[in-house]
Amino acid sequence: LPGVLLVRLRALCNLSKCGHTGGKTTSNRTRDMRWYRTKAQNIHEHNAPLFQNKQDGNLLKEFPDPKNLLNGTISRSLGVNDLSQFIQYSCTEHAGVKKATLTLQWPCQFEENGYASKKADAERFAAAAACFRLKEMGLIGPNNKLPKRRAGRGRGGLHSHLYDEENGWIDDVSRASHCSSPIDVSGVAEALSLFPQPKSLLTRVIQLATSSSRVREFLHFKTVGGKLKNCELTLLWPEEMTFAATATSRAAAEKKAAALACMKLRELQLLDKDNNPLTHAKYHREKVKEAGERERRPLPLVIPEYLEQRMKEYLTQYPVATEVQKLWEEEEATGQQVNQQCEEEEEEDCITDAITGRPYCALSEQRAQQLSHQLQHEWETAKPGLCVELPADAHRQRVVSAVRSSRVVVIAGETGCGKTTRIPRFLLEEQVRGGEGAWCNVLVTQPRRISAVSVAQRVAYEMGPHLKHRVGYQVRLESRPPEHSGGSMLFLTVGVLLRKLQSNPTLKGISHVVVDEVHERDVNTDLLLALLRSSLDENPDLRVVLMSATGDNQRLAEYFGGCPIVKVPGFMHPVKDHYLEDVLREMRRPLSRDKKGADEAAPDPDLVADVIEHIDKHGEPGAILCFLPGWQDIRAVQDKLEAKRLTPSDSHMVLPLHSSLSVADQQVVFQRPQVGQRKIVLATNIAETSITIDDIVHVVDAGTHKEQNYDPRTKVSCLDTVWISRSNVTQRKGRAGRCQPGRSYHLFPRQQLETMTPFPVPEILRTPLESLVLQVKIHCPNCKAGDFLSRVLDSPEPEAVRDAVQNLQDIGVLDKTETLTPLGQRVACMSCDPRLGKVLVLSAVFRCVLPMLSVAACLTRDPFFNSLQNRALVNKAKEDLSGSSCSDYLVFSRAVLGWRRAQQEGDREDRHEYLDKYTLSKASLRFINGLISQFSENLQEAGLVSRVSECQRHTSLYNEHSHQDELLKAVLLAGLYPNLIQVKKGVVTKGGRFRPNSTSFRTISGPVLLHRSSVNRGKENLPSRWLTFFSAVKSNGNVFIRDSSSVHPLALLLLTDCDITETVNGDMVEVSFPGRSLVRCELSAETWELLWELRTSIQTMLYRNLNDASNANTTQDGNLISLLVELLNNTEPSPLVKNNSMEGEVD
């Protein structure tokens, strides 16, 4: 016979012995083993002990450790460890003889008995008999070799005569028919071995698959019977099925039936390979697939008939072909005129006086000499003194001589030497007293507004009441320049000087530029240094002085051709260092409690507050300056101090210091506290350089700061909290020793100091470069951005420069040759991010200026009073302001314009109520109003508005459509595109759950999440498939969109300047945008033809207005914008398809 049949016959024969009463085996022990029979045999057992001892020796010799052998055989065969369901021993006693009954449930049910005077021996005899039986079946190999352990929990792991490797297991029914029990015991046993907790598994599967907690609706147990319980399980999912099982107890019967049901689910592939439930999404594959297909279909777009008629009427009145032709003719006619005007402008050489801001006019020789004599007399009469002696005073002549003999000098001035206040004055005074004051004008740059203002005020105070008018300052939103140029000194921020260079590239009329704190290496400073090198070539009268306390001065000197370095030693009172381990020891706290890992830069507000409290209680009198990374950290520590009752009071003066505060609010930190009151200043690195708070005795340094880092892959910037450099540590420590001895508490281990970098990473190497590239094109229009930036002190990566150029080309600011477009020339006048600049420019054309001014200002400075404690209040306020707009930008606009109304129409109580109602910051709103005024001036500079006041007047032409929400969102899209988000409905979560009503978001760079600060976070029914956004941040590997606004599909089709792909399908046209098909719409061919012509009309209007605003056709433009407003307001944006009730049940 074939081998397979022999195997099957042998297996059937062996199994039949389990139920055959007088069955004999082929073994030579046939007659001797008749006492070791199954329960079905009828041989009387009263003489069994008489025969037991004759054979027990032979069995125990063959199976010396029968119980372990039996356990190992079944355990390996089934791949289970818990054998209590398969092996049961029971013991009785008669006439002093113990009878052990061993019941085996596998491979079929049978019993073996053993007799002895001790229970343990009796069980061994029974086990030996069972081993003999299993060996006959082929389950125990020669020399009692155990079967191979099962690889998995499927049936294929059992190596015995019950398994045929080619055809699988022998049919269950066949086995059941030969077993003593009518139930398929082996099938039940295997099911129980695979599913030890079957009822729990069934419950979890049904809960996952049906999203219902009412499991009993899908699972019915019916159990009947007396001593033997019969259970019938009806399972109603995924279809109706019935399973039956029998056991001596109800619980056991139900467990067996449930195990059989689990086996069926396994066969149906409704469990995973480890016999666990599948994910929720896999149980709903069809619905997941349906949601995906729905989102992949193009958005159907239908324009109402009367609006199509309105478009036809407009296009008949103003045919596109005629408009385009007229535009070209006008351009050709004006081309020569424009060139002639440019030549005239060059001849006029109209430049701005960098000191006063008025048109520059060179002094005649006679007038210059008169002014020089006048200045000389003023200084000799005033006799300005020095309030206190500083180390720089002793090196005055060295510095002045070096500057006279070399056009560029690096001053390596140590902390506390007085370089910031003294050296600019030395240069001016030397020229004035030498009779050359009229030709001396000194510009002194500072890295921050507070330092520019405070240093100017200090220098003016020291020069006395008769000369202080010769000193001024100019920062963003605040300007107090000297009354006249000639013998004057202006302190200003680097950004302000860069704007001055636009109108005076060679700095005519300026004798000295002093760049202070050059070691900070922000983007603007690096750009300024590169431009100053060019200015030095073109202006032979210009001198440049670079001042740094801790920078790499040798590199600076080499950058300017090996210029001299003048070292000015400083004086600092002794400052004692306390590192984290020292601080904790002083506070009697264990080191391990607060020890941070080397990579954990985030400060612990509790520790910071505890250290401040410790200093307040045990430290010397004097002010405390605490350095923290950002505003949220300042607020957190402030809250902790309030909990410790270290609040503004008679005994404490707690002051925050941050760059976003107004100049007036920042100046408060210089005030002296009352007697018995301790001043506590919580500051960012704004207090690290240039300013001196002269009563600081204690510095608490968290050792970290906020640093922007750009990820070129995701095109997203991350504002990370990172460790400062060693030079930063030195600067911070120096704040404590300026006027008296002090202490510096470094809240990081001494070992951490050794791992810090020597100097900060230059900002130009770690930030997006769009604004920088735009400034480069303003200052050097004929130079490629990459070529110019290759000449800065630390050149950025070429890829980063290419990305920035590409982004500016995408928004239409640069053309393919890297030349500023007419739009780019207007955007270049805006003192904000290029995208926001584009929004402002477009708002002037579309007559909705004031709301967009508010939005741009709020994206520069948050109007809400944000903190960890009132985040919920802010979210509620935003929700109230948003209404149904689904736009964070309209929230900003409504908040600011509402505040302006409250100021104009309400009383003081109304204003306070408005601020409280919407959790708004009064200081932030003041700053935002200043930005609105500045941006209004920018629009006038760009030639887009006739007067600055028109921008903020509600009834002006430039605000005709400021109340049209859909138009505002459309203009925002036009400015921010291609910052676009695709919204998809139907989400499979990380846990595998399918949520049909949830939304997911992706940009062209990949998936994103909405930040909790956005009003669109958590909204299930957004009115559009698309959102636009301005800012994104990266955190923990995810990209979060901080602000967003819903986008009308018509705005995408009409206002974006990008390539469009058309696919004609019969009478319909599918329109798609570049970029992984983020945008796909479907509409009739006739409708698309009308929209395409209207799109061309809008682009023509923009081109005409941006090339020459005076050439705008007010009536025609008004009609076109009104038609656009009507289309946006009355065309259904096709909201995301709502799921039917059945889909709702899935979730």
The predicted-structure confidence for 147-182, as pLDDT tens digits, reads as follows 766 544 433 333 333 333 333 333 332 232 233 333
Query: Are residue 152 and residue 98 in the same domain, yes or no?
Result: yes
Confidence grade of residue 690 (pLDDT, cut at 50, 70, 90): low
* 585 close to 595: Cβ distance less than 8 angstroms: no
Question: For position 77, what pLDDT does the model report?
Answer: 79
Q: Are residues 521 and 646 in the same domain?
A: no
Q: Please report, rounded to a whole number, the percentage of residues in the chain having pLDDT higher than 70.
A: 86
Q: What is the mean pLDDT of residues 406-410?
A: 96
Tally of domains in the chain? 4
In a domain, residue 1041? The reply is: no
Full-prediction pTM beyond 0.85? no
Predicted pLDDT of residue 340: 55
Please check whether residue 855 is in contact with residue 972, taking contact to mean a CB–CB distance below 8 angstroms. yes
Query: Which secondary-structure segment (H or E) carries 368?
Result: helix 365-382
User: Domain with 518 in it: what CATH number?
Assistant: 3.40.50.300
Task: Name which of 33-37, 305-309, 649-653, 801-805 the model is least confident about.
Answer: 33-37
Round the average pLDDT of the chain to a whole number and report it: 84
User: Taking the CB of residue 672, how many other CB atoms lie within 10 A of it?
Assistant: 11
The verdict on 627 and 680 lying in the same domain is yes
Out of 181-185, 241-245, 426-430, 898-902, pick the least confident. 181-185
Average pLDDT over residues 628-639: 87
Residue 1096 lies in a domain: no
Q: What is the dihedral of CA 160, 166, 171, 175, to 10 degrees?
A: -20
**Tens digit of pLDDT for each residue in 777-802?**
999 999 999 999 999 999 998 988 99
Predicted pLDDT at 150: 56
At 1142 the pLDDT is 38
Q: Residue 888 pLDDT more than 70?
A: yes
| Contacting residues for 531 by C-beta, under 8 A, at least 6 apart | 498, 501, 505, 779
Between 173 and 1041, whose confidence is greater? 1041
Residue 551 sits in the same domain as residue 588: no
For residue 883, the enclosing domain spans 815-959
According to DSSP, residue 673 is labeled P
Average pLDDT over residues 83-94: 88
- Please count the residues of the chain: 1147
pLDDT band at 72 (very low <50, low <70, confident <90, very high): confident
Give a yes or no: residue 104 inside a domain.
yes
- Is residue 305 a part of any domain in this protein? no
Domain CATH number, residue 21:
3.30.160.20
Identity (one letter) of the amino acid at 534?
A: S
More confident residue, 804 or 337: 804
Residue 38's pLDDT is what?
29
Residue that finishes a domain, picked among 137, 165, 193: 165
Query: Are residue 895 and residue 943 in the same domain, yes or no?
Result: yes
Judge if 727 and 827 occupy the same domain: no
Q: Is residue 463 part of a domain?
A: yes
User: Span 654-681, mean pLDDT?
Assistant: 84
- 15 and 142 part of one domain: yes
CA 390, 393, 395, 396 dihedral sign is positive
Query: Is residue 989 very low, low, confident or very high in pLDDT (cuts 50, 70, 90)?
Result: confident
Structure tokens at 1132: 């259904």
Express as a percent the part of the chain with pLDDT over 90. 52
Q: Is 140 inside any structural domain?
A: yes
- For residues 10 and 137, state if they share a domain: yes
Q: Per the structure block, which two tokens stand in for 381? A: 């009469």
Strongest mean pLDDT among 54-58, 627-631, 1027-1031: 1027-1031
In a domain, 979, yes or no: no
State whether 903 and 837 are in the same domain.
Answer: yes
Note whether 443 and 543 are within 8 A (CB): no
Structure tokens at 1003: 């940009």
The pair phi, psi for residue 360, each rounded to 5°, is: -80, 135
* Residue closest to 453 by CA, chosen among 468, 470, 474: 474
Asked if the model's pLDDT at residue 445 lies above 70, the reply is yes
- Is 622 a residue whose pLDDT tops 50? yes
The predicted structure's pLDDT at residue 1138: 44
| pLDDT at residue 14 tops 60 | no
Q: Are residues 601 and 518 in the same domain?
A: no
| In-domain check, residue 625 | yes
User: pLDDT at residue 21 above 70?
Assistant: no
Q: Among 240-249, 532-541, 944-953, 1030-1039, which stretch is predicted with the lowest mean pLDDT?
A: 1030-1039
Shared-domain flag, residues 672 and 559: no
pLDDT digits (tens, 9 = 90+) for 534-551: 999 999 999 999 998 777
Compute the distance between CA of residue 922 and CA of residue 919 in angstroms, rounded to an integer: 10
Rounded mean pLDDT of 986-991? 78
**DSSP label of 810:** H
Cα separations (Å) of 405 from 288, 412, 429, 544?
78, 17, 17, 12
**pLDDT tens track for 341-374:** 555 544 445 789 999 999 998 889 999 999 999 9
Task: Give the torsion through C-alpha atoms of 676, 677, 678, 682, to 10 deg.
Answer: 180
- Whether 463 has a pLDDT exceeding 80, the answer reads yes
pLDDT at 560: 94
Neighbouring-strand partners of residue 546: 410, 515
Q: Which of 53-67, 476-490, 663-677 has the lowest mean pLDDT?
A: 53-67
**What does DSSP say about strands 168-169 and 163-164: parallel, antiparallel, or unpaired?**
antiparallel
**pLDDT for 273 beyond 50:** yes
The whole-angstrom separation of Cα 102 and Cα 1053 is 83
Helices (H) and strands (E) in the chain, counts: 42, 35
Q: 518 and 438 share a domain? A: yes
